[in-house]
A and B are shown apart, each in its own frame.
Chain A
Amino acid sequence: MLARVLSATSFGIDARFVEVEVDVGAGLPSFHIVGLPDTAVQEARERVRSALKNSGFAFPPQRVTVNLAPAFLKKTGSDFDLPIALGILLATKQLHSLLEGTVALGELSLSGELRPVNGVFPVAHFLSLQGKPYRMLLPLVNAQESAVVEGVDVFGFRTLREVCDFLEGQRTLRPLKRSWEEYLASPSFDEDLAEIKGQRQGKRALEIAASGGHHLLFIGPPGSGKTMLARKLPSLLPPLTVEQAIEVTKIHSVAGLLSEDHPFVTVPPFRAPHHTVSDVALIGGGQWPRPGEISLAHHGVLFLDEVLEFRRNVLEALREPLETGKITVSRVNATVTYPARFLLVLACNPCPCGYLGDTERPCTCSYQQILRYRSKLSGPLLDRIDLQVEIPRLGVHELLSEREEESSGVVRERVKRAREIQKERFRGEGILLNGEMKSRHIKRFCELSQEAKRFLEASLKSLSLSARAYHRILKVARTIADLEGKARIEVSHIAEAIQYRFLDRQNRL
């Protein structure tokens, strides 16, 4: 007796259908799975057998063959436990029918409980785009995350028994439904800018970075608050749109980062990989290319603390995604493209010992050491950093200041306005933010007042800034002007932008 159950598996952040065919026939009792299964899929045999038994079903003492089609696509993970079990039940008539357009996914425990699997959200999204009504049978947690996808009926279950009861009509269930808007409208952040006392320059840099999409470098001694500042950046970014949230949730689903408490991503993500991270973990990879940290930070913030401690090849690998906003990972089994458009925040010490310029602790580095240290920073990566900001370690009295600090929400409103101005300006240019401007855009859109032009020329000369710094200054000044709602760049905008070229200005230590 042959049975067919439809399933699907995620592929990159897309998905593919997988048909599970089960044949139960005469022969010595055996259980085979074919169709390029990996070890996790092979082990489904043991889980399915026990799960069936412990759910009160009989496992057929016959020859059982399972085929996962298409056979050329390699199957991984435990996604197919549930469809295989359902297929066996159908083939042995313990289950009578399955409606057309039913897609099942889920791992089984030996006791017959359903366990969540990774990468369900992309599958749900994939099904919603098929132009045909599908319904999904899923573990409860996965059902939660997929419930926001429109055009798919999602049913969540705790056990195999519940699934069968539902299919046999002994139990009625309504599909789970949730709306994105309710989550996205009121983003809840764990972090708020108001928690930081003082640090006006650091906060201001965050605001500019968020407004113009400028990558950022913080330089400061240990304990000056670089990490704390960076953590606040996502809360300044405008809330994710539905499309962005779907995209980010897909990536996080594939990486298995969604949980019952966080069924989907509603706020711009913040990723801070440790400096020992490998290039594969950062960029994405593996036999089955999985998304790396840069993709997990898509539409959010990637923070590299102690950036000079990262291996060179790891940092070099950031160049392509910074340029194109995506990364293509090619491996033996597949070539997958993941989106990776993130705001990069780097942090490092001002010198090897970390205390150069500190008020309380003397720096113990030699001049040569500092030069060598700084030279590691230069190069193509630094070329993409528009804002270089020094974060000094402030005294206690600064930290105890009584001033009321601005909350993230207030700053976010300003950021939103500035972004709208940019969107309007770059209409038809293929870019959205000042940080993405190429030199032709700069020429066209960075109009300076006469006075500002003179000021910029004079300061370039007297501070001996490079031509490269010139373009960065214009881009950042453009954003500062946008924050003020000014059409033309003025002297004060230029003056502030020059302030954010820390490394260019350190010709004398």
Chain B
Amino acid sequence: MSDDLPFWVAFSHVRGIGPVRFRKLLSTFGNAAASWEAPFEALREVVGERLAQGIVAARKMLSPHELYSATIREGIAVIPWDSPAYPALLRSLSNPPFLLYVEGEFSFCAHEKYIAIVGTRRPTPYGVKAARFFARELAKAGWIVVSGLAVGIDGEAQRAVVEEGCPTIAVLGSGLRRIYPAAHLPLAREIVCRGGALVSEYPPGFGPRPEHFPLRNRIISGLSRGVLVVEAPRKSGALITVDFALEMGREVFAVPGPIFSPQSEGTNALIAQGARPVQRVEDILEAFGFSIPVSETSAGVGDFLSEKEALLFSYIDHVGVFKEELLERTGWGEGEFFQVLLALEMKGLVQEIPGGKVVRA
């Protein structure tokens, strides 16, 4: 088997060879090595003219053994679908990726509680807050959060987990050496440091392509027992993940949002269609038959605040209030007002958001 692995890696470099065609090749030629070296005519029989040409071209350029050892040297593990290290949940799909590239000291078989958190790339402060909250709480309850490392909900959820010092799985739509978005490269490194893993079905050097992302979403839901959608407008990639999840029989959870917020239209529609609405982390745990963890009650926020801070804090909500309005309402001078506001911000209680507003953090 391990002699054959380099050829699996080689096939993953051929565009157009997915799990279905690869299995067809395996069953025809016996193993990947034989498929790789098969004559053009035989290949054409199995995968058709164009892909056969692709394979022939690829084998002129690529050397399977070099490719394989180079990948290993990079610190990237290659897990074929028949390996015991391959995620069990993913393997149970009808057509799982035949090969996963994995970076990070993470053992898929050591855990069984995986949950995906997905959502829009353009979240509202509410969505960010919800994503971070559920990610953190689920991580603390021993769940492994799976997501796509994208800007927005995905990234925020994973960042929250990392900040908690827990492992998380990021599934990429690009190769592991072409982290996308590049702005999340530090986050990706952090995930690896914290015992999580970066996963991709594409070879390390492959760049992101639009068609990769729906397939990436299939892996995200395939890896997980359930999918939590935090915020999604009507047309969102997160809803593709949900479609896959439903096909695979995974649980679908959605965070309800304001009815006027376009960023919650998708999630609210999911709930209307029967997804489980989630208001507390217990709603998710219960759905899987887990008991509710006893959370220690945190001390009241009010205890740490001066009188003025408490007053200003009471004017600030979760949606966002104009600073201009607060200035007016408090009747304080600029100096005093900003001093109190900054104090609240430094205590991590409120946060400034674009549009000249502040919101509770």
Contact = CB atoms under 8 A, between A and B. Distances in A.
> DSSP majority for the B interface?
helix
Interface string B319-359: 00011110110000111101101110110000011111100
Interface string A474-498: 0000001000100000011101101
Query: Which 7 residue pairs across A and B have the least CB separation, nearest first?
Result: A357-B355, A357-B354, A392-B356, A492-B335, A495-B339, A495-B338, A496-B338
B334 A459 contact: no
B327 A201 contact: yes
Interface string A385-403: 0000011111000100100
B324 A200 contact: yes
Given A200-B327, A392-B323, A498-B342, 17 more contacts: A198-B324, A200-B334, A201-B323, A350-B354, A357-B357, A358-B355, A367-B121, A367-B122, A367-B181, A392-B324, A392-B355, A398-B325, A459-B342, A462-B345, A492-B333, A495-B343, A499-B342
18 contacts: A198-B328, A200-B324, A221-B355, A356-B355, A367-B121, A367-B151, A367-B152, A392-B322, A392-B323, A392-B324, A398-B325, A459-B342, A463-B345, A492-B333, A493-B335, A495-B339, A495-B342, A498-B338
Interface residues of B, number: 30
B356 A391 contact: yes
B183 interface: yes
A119 B291 CA distance: 88
Contacts of B181: 367-368
A199 interface: yes
Contact of A366 (B121, B322, B338, B342): B121
A359 B346 contact: no
B54 interface: no
Interface in B113-158: 121-122, 151-152
B262 interface: yes
Contacts, number: 90
Interface of A: 198-201, 204, 220-221, 350, 356-359, 362-363, 366-368, 371, 390-394, 398, 401, 458-459, 462-463, 480, 484, 491-493, 495-496, 498-499, 505-506, 509
B329 to A, nearest CB: 12
Given A356-B354, A493-B335, A496-B335, A463 B346 contact: yes
A453 B216 CA distance: 50
Contacts of B262: 362
A367 B182 CA distance: 12
A199 B121 contact: no
Contact of A459 (B151, B152, B336, B346): B346
A27 to B, nearest CB: 79
B346 A496 contact: no
A200 B334 CA distance: 9
Contacts of B339: 491-492, 495-496
A498 B339 CA distance: 9
Nearest to A364: B122
Contacts of B354: 350, 356-357, 390, 506, 509
A204 B332 CA distance: 14
Nearest to B336: A492
A493 to B, nearest CB: 6
B335 A458 contact: no
B346 A480 contact: no
Given A350-B354, A366-B121, A495-B338, A458 B328 contact: no
B322 A458 contact: no
Contact of A496 (B151, B152, B334, B345): B334
B186 to A, nearest CB: 12
A462 B339 CA distance: 14
Contact of B322 (A368, A394, A491, A506): A394
Contacts of A362: 262
Most buried by A among B121, B183, B322: B322
Nearest to A477: B335
Nearest to A401: B328
A398 B342 contact: no
Nearest to B152: A367
Given A198-B324, A398-B324, A392 B342 contact: no
